[in-house]
Structure 1
Amino acid sequence: MKKRDKIIYWVATIWLSLGMVSTGIVQLIQMEEEVQKMNTLGYPSYFLTIIGVWKILGVIAVLIPKFPLVKEWAYAGFFFLMSGAIFTHLAVADEAVEYFGPALLLVLTVVSWYFRPADRKLINS
């Protein structure tokens, strides 16, 4: 693996992890703004607990060594969560600023997945 690719992987993965953990914690403690946002989007507030737990477990899976199949599922989960968030904001015609967070995390998910080292891939190429 080239040094450049390793740097891209770790920068994307660290930012992805920070973003997922911070939003996961906000969702787990059910901050009032998050509860209001979920209600506006049409989701029940208990959904915050579910996605908060998923995000934190996903970060653990992505960061720990080995377990490439679990990593694949974590990346897929991040992709589904963030693309779902974007489409939900589209469905309720939110302002453009609401798309920034999920779009950034979606891009970081794809970049981290694409540049991951061979020992973190399901099939080494």
Structure 2
Amino acid sequence: METQNKSQKRNKIIYWIFTLWMALGMVSTAGVQLLKNKDEIENFTSLGYPIYLMTIIGVWKILGVFAVLIPKYPLLKEWAYAGFFFVMSGAVISHVISDHNLGKILPGLLLLVLTIISWYFRPADRKIV
């Protein structure tokens, strides 16, 4: 029983560290997108995406962070995690296909990995049973 409690405590710590890191990354990149940062506009257009997509993705990232962090609503959390997975895997794939360097690929890859780890270690009360 004691080992199970230690494991649950460890998993909860891992969950919160990676979730807060993911949330910070999503909010900061959403801010850059919503403020139409010059470098981000160049990044988006170099991938062939329209600038208005920055607003859509930025708003959805912020809403997703709220969904993941608020208590309850496990179905909403699953949708948010799925959205983060699709957006970040799409970003990584887009950069790889466009022959961008590792410096452009790594931020999206990091957020993708943080999303997966956060989802995997989420506590039982944040899962659909």
For the aligned pair, the TM-score class normalised by the smaller chain equals over 0.9
Matched residue, 1:62: 68
Q: Where does structure 2 lack aligned partners over 5 or more consecutive residues? A: none
Which of 104, 111, 121 does residue 105 from structure 1 map onto? Answer: 111
The answer on 1:84 being equivalent to 2:90 is: yes
What CA deviation, in whole Å up to 9, does each residue of 1:2-51 have, x standing for no partner? 11101000000000000000000110111111111111110000000000
Aligned equivalents of 1:29 and 1:96: distance in 2?
25
With structure 2 as the length reference, what TM-score do the two structures score?
A: 0.93
Aligned residue-pair number: 123
Paired amino acid for 1:21 = V
Matched residue, 1:41: 47
Paired amino acid for 1:51 = I
Matched residue, 2:32: 26
Greater Rg, structure 1 or structure 2? 2
Show the 5 A alignment for 1:109-124.
Answer: 109-123=115-129
With structure 1 as the length reference, what TM-score do the two structures score?
A: 0.96
- Any idea what SS the aligned residue of 1:66 has? coil
Aligned equivalents of 1:85 and 1:69: distance in 2?
24
Paired amino acid for 2:114 = L
Q: Would you identify which runs of 4 or more consecutive aligned residues in structure 1 move more than 4 Å?
A: none
What CA deviation, in whole Å up to 9, does each residue of 1:44-75 have, x standing for no partner? 00000000001000000000000000000000
Could you say what the CA RMSD is over the residues aligned between the two structures, in angstroms?
0.8
